[in-house]
């Protein structure tokens, strides 16, 4: 048998390439005159597809360039003899393949100008097309996202990405495809297969999260696609999260229920998710949840996207997306929380900026002044608070967190946004990370049931204006938007139950990470029992809240009018030079030229962003 080591050491020069820069590839073996490159066994190429048809294939073989620098063999442990139509992964410098006297054989694979390994090799015998190689462990009931991450020289997979001790948050370069797998309920949402086994698409992937990243062998990930996609009917973007929910012992229903309620109650934007099975480097990783990442984008947090390090006072009022955080970070302001109630753990008020990512002195000043004022008004139980915070969204956000008894709400992963300009307020939204949902009592408020401290909410709950709006919102929502949530949960459980069993088979007994405090991936194989615990909790909590907020069955089902408290005026240094309008030059004869705030000309202005518009000798700063 010709060994892989011989193939490597035999290389004296780089393999030949054709006039387009593609490798010349040959089938080489004991039937090709002692493994020579023969024209009769040279693959033809059309685009990226290499094809070779043979009347007969028998004996040992590999696929290789002229000098063995680039070649495909079997996996390192070898594989069974090829006896018919098959698809398999070919590995650089892998062992020889063995074919058993096959006739009417077509071999094909996809290969661009850059060599990649592993690569899928398709062998068709007698005109029968092979299926994509199945991955062990898949339930086959959900869409599947396949991700490959390669070594720097693309000689094989980089399996650090699936190492149980992966702790850093550096990006890995890779490729992906998403197979909708015949899920008609997703096709009805417009979901489609993206990419194919022959044409994977580029992406970057990294670990995300804090505790969930280090404590579990099943890691959550952040995805950054090379181009915007609407994956599984979610909003079109480059940015998604693959959430593992390795600690969700409520049947993966914590985020699902919280997000569904947030969407139903009409918060400005609440992310959505879809279940998906994940395969990375050929390894089945279990049941995940493809989730819309929090981003300032038109289909997500739809506010003006403010640039980093803006020092122009006319622009400094927004838009901003910030997080009330539970970790000390460099990119945040930190204050002592003010309170108007006794007996609650005071949390450190950490306001971490999300978008933009880097603040100028003026941006820090604006954010510090805004949140210092909010904090002081919370502590004073003053209705002037509602000139800074949108009262309706504050109430709706709270009501969702209370319904799901989310004990970590207002402690971390609590987002607020403010748009650009005069008359704007801060909005509690979007919801994110309901990872401690259903941990609170069904007969107490969630903020009385946790060890964390929950920024501001105990004080806001003592405010009469807040509670008046809460009662009206409670009656409206429970008589309208809440209806149907149990049926939605049941439908979701039906979709994921088999995959939950497959996930358990994958992770049962898996070795934990070496980090202190590491734990096992939870067992959600009995989805019926998990569903029942969630529904029981919701029903019990609602019965108790009827005594607190009123019997909604006797209350108005009309949506309460939005609060009309005027927003606090902007400070003088943050007032725009020109009102943000889009038609300032609409009636001029000469088309305007648009420049971004760094002075670079742009061909196509994006709605919601701020530009310098030049018309002749006139220049205007406008919001497009």
d(C-alpha 488, C-alpha 259), whole Å? 12
d(C-alpha 367, C-alpha 322), whole Å? 9
Helix or strand run (H / E) with residue 149:
strand 144-149
Query: 75 falls in which pLDDT band (50, 70, 90)?
Result: confident
d(C-alpha 76, C-alpha 155), whole Å? 12
Share above pLDDT 90 across residues of the chain, in percent, rounded to a whole number? 74
233-264 residue pLDDT tens? 999 999 999 999 999 999 999 999 999 999 99
Tokens of 326: 């539970």
The pLDDT of residue 623 is 64
Please state which of the ranges 105-114, 173-182, 597-606 shows the lowest mean pLDDT: 597-606
The pLDDT of residue 44 is 96
Which pTM was predicted? Answer: 0.79
44-64 residue pLDDT tens? 999 888 999 999 999 999 999
307-316 residue pLDDT tens? 999 988 888 9
How many CB atoms sit inside 10 A of residue 535's CB? 17
Q: Please work out, in degrees rounded to the nearest 5, the angle formed at the alpha carbon of residue 213 by the alpha carbons of 239 and 325.
A: 75
Burial class (CB in 10 A: 0-12, 13-18, 19+), 340: middle
Helix or strand run (H / E) with residue 514:
none
């Amino acid at each position: 048998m010709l060994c892989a080591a011989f193939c490597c050491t035999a290389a004296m020069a780089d393999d030949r390439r054709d006039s387009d820069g593609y490798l010349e590839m040959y089938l080489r073996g004991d039937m090709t005159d002692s493994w020579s490159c023969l024209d009769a066994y040279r693959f033809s190429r059309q685009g990226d597809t290499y094809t070779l048809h043979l009347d007969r294939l028998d004996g040992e073989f590999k696929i290789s360039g002229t000098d063995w620098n680039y070649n495909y063999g079997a996996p390192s442990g070898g594989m069974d003899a090829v006896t018919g139509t098959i698809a398999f992964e070919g590995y650089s410098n892998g062992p020889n393949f063995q074919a058993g006297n096959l006739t009417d054989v077509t071999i094909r694979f996809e290969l661009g100008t850059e060599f990649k390994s592993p690569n899928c090799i398709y062998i068709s015998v007698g005109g029968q097309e092979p299926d994509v190689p199945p991955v062990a462990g898949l339930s086959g009931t959900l869409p599947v996202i396949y991700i490959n991450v390669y070594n720097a020289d693309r000689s094989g997979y980089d399996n650090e990405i699936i190492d149980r001790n992966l702790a850093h948050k550096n990006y890995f370069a890779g490729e992906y495809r998403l197979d909708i797998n015949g899920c008609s309920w997703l096709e009805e949402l417009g979901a489609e297969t993206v990419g194919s086994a022959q044409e994977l698409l580029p992406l970057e992937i990294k670990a995300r999260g804090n505790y969930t990243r280090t404590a579990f062998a099943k890691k959550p990930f952040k995805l950054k696609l090379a181009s915007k996609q609407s994956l599984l009917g979610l909003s079109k973007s480059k940015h998604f999260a693959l959430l593992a929910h390795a600690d969700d012992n409520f049947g993966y229903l914590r985020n699902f229920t919280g997000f569904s309620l947030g969407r139903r109650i009409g918060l400005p934007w609440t992310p959505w998710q879809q279940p998906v099975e994940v395969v990375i480097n050929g390894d089945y990783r279990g049941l995940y949840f493809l989730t819309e990442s929090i981003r300032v984008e038109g289909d997500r947090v739809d506010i003006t996207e403010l640039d980093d390090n803006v020092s122009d006072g006319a622009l400094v009022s927004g838009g901003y997306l910030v997080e009330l955080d539970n970790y000390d970070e460099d990119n945040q302001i930190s204050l002592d929380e003010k309170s108007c109630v006794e007996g609650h753990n005071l949390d450190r008020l950490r306001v971490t900026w999300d978008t933009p990512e880097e603040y100028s002195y003026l941006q820090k000043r604006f954010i510090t002044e805004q949140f210092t004022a909010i904090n002081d008004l919370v502590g004073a139980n003053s209705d002037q608070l509602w000139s800074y915070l949108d009262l309706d969204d504050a109430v709706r956000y709270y009501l969702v967190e209370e319904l799901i008894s989310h004990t970590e709400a207002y402690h971390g992963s609590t987002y607020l946004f403010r748009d650009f300009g005069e008359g704007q307020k801060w909005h509690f939204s979007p919801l994110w990370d309901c990872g401690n949902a259903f941990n609170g009592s069904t007969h107490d408020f969630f903020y009385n049931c946790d060890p964390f401290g929950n920024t501001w909410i105990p004080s806001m709950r003592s405010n009469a204006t807040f509670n008046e709006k809460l009662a009206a919102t409670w009656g409206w929502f429970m008589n309208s938007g809440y209806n149907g949530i149990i049926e939605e949960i049941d439908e979701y459980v039906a979709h994921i139950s088999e995959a939950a069993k497959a996930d358990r088979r994958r992770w049962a007994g898996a070795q934990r990470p070496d980090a202190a405090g590491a734990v096992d991936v939870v067992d959600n194989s009995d989805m019926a029992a998990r569903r029942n615990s969630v529904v029981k909790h919701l029903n019990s909590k609602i019965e108790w809240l009827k005594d607190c907020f009123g019997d909604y069955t006797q209350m108005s089902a009309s949506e309460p009018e939005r609060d009309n408290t005027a927003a606090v005026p902007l400070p003088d240094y943050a007032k725009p030079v020109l009102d943000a309008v889009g038609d300032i030059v609409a009636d001029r004869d000469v088309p305007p030229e648009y420049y971004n705030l760094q002075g670079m000309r742009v061909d196509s202005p994006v709605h919601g962003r701020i530009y310098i518009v030049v018309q002749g000798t006139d220049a205007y700063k406008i919001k497009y």
